[in-house]
Amino acid sequence: MPDTLPVVTPLLALQMRMADYLLQPDGHATLAWTDVGDGNPDAAHRLGIYHAAYRARLLETLRDTFGHTWRLLGDERFDALALAHIEAVPSTRGNLRWFGIGWPEGLVDSAGADVAELAQLDWALREAFDGPDDTVIGLSDVRTVQPEAWPDTRLRPHATARCLCMHHNTLQRWHALDDDREPPPPEALPEVGWVLVWRRGDSPHFRSLSVHEAWALQALGQGHSWGEVCDGLAATWPELDVAAAAAPWLRRWLAEEVLAEVQWPADMDPASEEG
């Protein structure tokens, strides 16, 4: 604990009161206009502009981040839900990029699970767009892995890769919105679907994938070796021909730049042999 408390200067006190004023939903001026206007009645009007502008900027951010959700809901409903979120969950970061991080989960109760799922996809694509840079490996990188090394080899997915669980026809609705078509009504899927989201080059991408492929990618992301992934698939789905399924997955991951790194067993690393 510091020996002395920070000094609250008149300027800091005024800034704190200004922040409290901006965060009030109704904008009733606990910050008197005489504080900043030297008795000028126009100061209250100017404060009101700041109060409205704060919300307008956050609303603009949510519209930009959740573009397909906005199209689905329309201006009036989207804005009402967004403004309710703005009042309930004030911005806590200096970077507007992260405002709305928990909104998809909140939409489950306020707009329905199908809308929340579309918002989750919107958010995941934005995360992939400006997610961390990473390396990319291709077919030539894995061709150097010796057959006996494959069971202990680890393949790390790209830092932006995420597998989303879908319970509704969200992809069908997303594509309709993207093509400026009327989206179909929400429908529950007969069984859970999966979507892979990642950045390829400078652009975010997504595609559907089977439950088996999603399980394998997530296991790789948790650091499991190729042998452990294959054994886990066989144990979980005994009817699955793992060898026949895994080879096409690997080729596609490499072609689509989903994988970032191949990690050989320490005693079989080609780099150590070159040394």
pLDDT 10s digits, 243-269: 999 999 999 999 999 999 999 887 665
Which segments of the chain does DSSP mark as H helices, in order? 10-23, 34-37, 42-65, 67-73, 75-88, 103-110, 113-129, 139-142, 170-178, 211-221, 226-236, 242-255, 270-274
Q: Which two tokens stand for residue 22?
A: 């901006």
Mean pLDDT of 10-14: 70
Q: Is the dihedral of CA 56, 58, 61, 63 positive or negative?
A: negative
3-state secondary structure (DSSP) of residue 191:
strand
What does pTM read for this prediction? Answer: 0.83
For residue 217, the 8-state DSSP code is H
3-state secondary structure (DSSP) of residue 175:
helix
Which of these ranges, 27-31, 62-66, 119-123, 164-168, has the smallest mean pLDDT? 27-31
Check pLDDT > 50 for residue 275. no
Check pLDDT > 50 for residue 132. yes
Mean pLDDT of 7-13: 70
Give pLDDT, residue 209: 96
Check pLDDT > 80 for residue 42. no
Rounded to whole angstroms, the Cα distance separating 234 from 232 reads 5
Of 109, 72, 113, residue with least CA distance to 88: 109
Q: How many CB atoms lie within 10 A of CB 272?
A: 10
Q: How confident is the model at residue 131 (pLDDT cuts 50, 70, 90)?
A: very high
Mean pLDDT of 222-244: 97
Q: Which two tokens stand for residue 67?
A: 């573009």
Do 50 and 26 meet the contact criterion of CB atoms below 8 Å apart?
no
Non-local (6+) Cβ contacts of 69 within 8 A are 78, 107, 115, 118, 119, 122
